[in-house]
Homo-oligomer: A and B are copies of this chain.
Amino acid sequence: MIVNMSAHATEAEINHVIERVKECGYQAHVIRGVERTIIGAVGKSSDGGGHRSELEALRAAPGVEEIIPIAQPFKLVSRQLRHERTVVDVCGVRFGGTGVVIIAGPCSVESREGFFEAARAVKRAGANMLRGGAYKPRTSPYEFQGLGVEALKILSEARGETGLPVVTEIMGTEDVDSVAEHADMLQVGARNMQNFVLLKRLAKTPRPILLKRSPSATVKEWLMAAEYLLAGGNSNVVLCERGIKTFDNELRNTFDLSAVALARELSHLPVIADPSHGTGRRSLIPIMSRAAIGAGADGLMIEVHPCPERALSDGPQSLDLHGFEELMRELREPARELAGAT
């Protein structure tokens, strides 16, 4: 941690900061420049907690211009701690291994019949896992909120028939047990990424977690949310990029594939990408799936619906069954080649 003193800081202010740094148990290295003084606090391992916060509070001391953290705020998710990549195994499906995992299915479980139709089709096309929402976070209270427990049972049955493991979203602590009973992997939705009460509870479940990035989270905030899970005891965490909010609203979100690459550089956790939410536009799903794989994604999550125009949610960003089949075929084809040198 470095304390950057203002150019107008007095000697007394500088000395006060030095004292406080020592009180917090650090050594204070003072560098006096031509225009200003900076104070480096050194001496403990970056435990990320306790005294670190005390030091940060010094930004409020007189004469301090800013506090500059030197170490990353995360520990357990960091690739500095653990260099080899983590593989998260969900009933045999391996995230972070050599292949790209495909999760597919409708946004919401709307009916037994419709879900089975989708489940069979995505299995046939080569998907590795099933998705389907039982509890739906919706911007409006008047929109379809999911079938709840009924949907969980349908998911369970579909897993039985297809053999594909199932992931579904968990919205509140009350539902952790029932969802964990029926699903193989629990998804934390984008809007709950910083629902710390939920994260602490999920740290105690034996199920692997799919942690979606909030549309307004920096990569570091996303990793800190994962840190809550690991610090609480659950190290089976897969990250999922699903688009961020920016000034350009032509697409539903801005699909941030650099974040996939950066998260994989900073952390050992597997990272997948969701081009359905990422773009919100069906026509772009195939090409952005390929881009995501190019960016190093360990998997894709894709919305597929038997009849998107009748979907109760996310129809415009869902492939129909035929479209998904075609996508899977395309993803097996070789990429575009470089132009010959002139």
Interface residues of A (CB under 8 A from B): 2, 4, 7-8, 20, 29, 31-36, 38, 40, 42-50, 52-54, 56-62, 68, 70-71, 73-74, 80, 91-94, 97-102, 123, 126-129, 137-144, 163-165, 171-174, 191-192, 194-198, 214-216, 218-221, 224, 227-228, 231-232, 244-251, 254-259, 261-262, 265, 278-279, 281-284, 287-288, 290-296, 299, 308-313, 315-316, 318, 328, 331-332, 334-342
**Distance, CA A164 to CA B340, complexed state (A):** 12
A173 to B176, CA, bound (A): 13
Given A35-B45, A139-B224, A257-B288, does the pair A61, B244 have CB atoms closer than 8 Å?
no
Question: Residues of B contacting A192 with CB < 8 Å?
Answer: 195
Query: If the complex has contacts A219-B250, A334-B335, are A309 and B60 also in contact, measured as CB distance less than 8 A?
Result: yes
Decide if B294 touches A290 in the complex (CB within 8 Å): yes
B336 engages A49 (CB within 8 Å): no
Verify B53–A308 contact, CB threshold 8 A: no
Other CB < 8 Å A-B pairs besides A191-B196, A219-B250, A258-B279, 14 of them?
Answer: A57-B312, A59-B315, A60-B316, A93-B339, A93-B342, A128-B341, A139-B221, A174-B197, A191-B194, A192-B195, A261-B287, A265-B284, A299-B339, A328-B338
Q: CA–CA, A28 to B53, complex, Å? A: 29
CB-based contact B246/A247 at 8 Å: yes
Are B316 and A194 in contact (CB-based, < 8 A)? Answer: no
Please tell me if the beta carbons of B262 and A251 are within 8 angstroms of each other in the complex: yes
Q: Is the CB of B70 within 8 A of A36?
A: yes
Are B257 and A257 in contact, CB atoms less than 8 angstroms apart?
Answer: yes
Would you mind naming 30 contact pairs between A and B with Cβ atoms under 8 Å apart?
A8-B80, A34-B42, A47-B142, A49-B140, A53-B313, A57-B309, A73-B139, A99-B337, A100-B339, A126-B338, A137-B194, A139-B221, A141-B227, A141-B228, A172-B198, A191-B194, A191-B195, A192-B195, A214-B216, A216-B216, A216-B247, A248-B256, A254-B254, A258-B279, A261-B288, A262-B281, A287-B295, A290-B295, A332-B338, A334-B335
